[in-house]
Amino acid sequence: MQVSKPISEPELEIIRIKYSGLQFGKMQQQNLWAFAKATVLKIHVITGWSIPKDDLMKILLDQFIKKIKESYPDTNPEEWEYAFRNYGTTVKDWGKSMNLALIDEVMLPYMADRKHLSHEVEERKVEPPPMNILDDEELDNLHRMWTEEFYQQIRKGIVKEIPDYTRAILVKDGLIENGGDADLFFTYKLGNNIENIYKKAK
């Protein structure tokens, strides 16, 4: 009688993150754009691949989102971070410009292992961890938390571009008008030494 080899902790981690959040293919367009941009920036930090600015950045994000929809709709943002931290060392082109071909070099082997492990879990009847799918309100709260973190960073003098999800949540919460100037909003808050945009509940 053949005894199945136990699933290792690293293998279980891949299964865990598979169910760790809302899949890109199930996101609303606004949230998809925000999470895609955040993912591109994290890939840039992990790999050192350069990313363009302004109009070229918009084109990259547009193509990245289309690539996700076409090839990786059942993945979530945490999986992308994990894949690039753990599979990116096989890619030698560190420091080059980010492009879809380089992204595939990391994601394809990750997805192959993910598929294999999913079959292993099913065959061994291992119960996968419960899927934690964020609803729209939970995503909004996540964006509020990230916006507060962004504000605290610029209060410390760390200059960053205002994220798209920050602009969107400020409009949704009525803190700026739709199409309003988020830069003026933060300039006013900083100039008046306002400590928080969103206070954590005690």
Ordered by start, the domain boundaries in the chain are: 9-123, 136-191
- Which range scores top for mean pLDDT: 119-128, 131-140, 161-170? 161-170
pLDDT range class, residue 19, cuts 50, 70, 90: confident
Answer whether residue 195 shows pLDDT above 60: yes
Answer whether residue 118 shows pLDDT above 50: yes
Answer whether residue 136 shows pLDDT above 90: no
What is the predicted pLDDT for the residue at 200?
Answer: 57
Mean pLDDT over 40-49 rounds to: 88
Question: For residues 102 and 177, what is the distance between their CA atoms, to the nearest angstrom?
Answer: 39
What is the predicted pLDDT for the residue at 3?
Answer: 36
Answer whether residue 114 shows pLDDT above 90: no
Which amino acid belongs to residue 119?
Answer: H
Mean pLDDT over 33-58 rounds to: 88
What is the predicted pLDDT for the residue at 201?
Answer: 40
Percent of the chain with pLDDT over 70: 82
Does the pTM surpass 0.95? The reply is no
Answer whether residue 106 shows pLDDT above 70: yes
pLDDT tens, 46-90? Answer: 888 888 888 898 999 999 999 999 999 999 988 999 999 988 766
Answer whether residue 202 shows pLDDT above 60: no
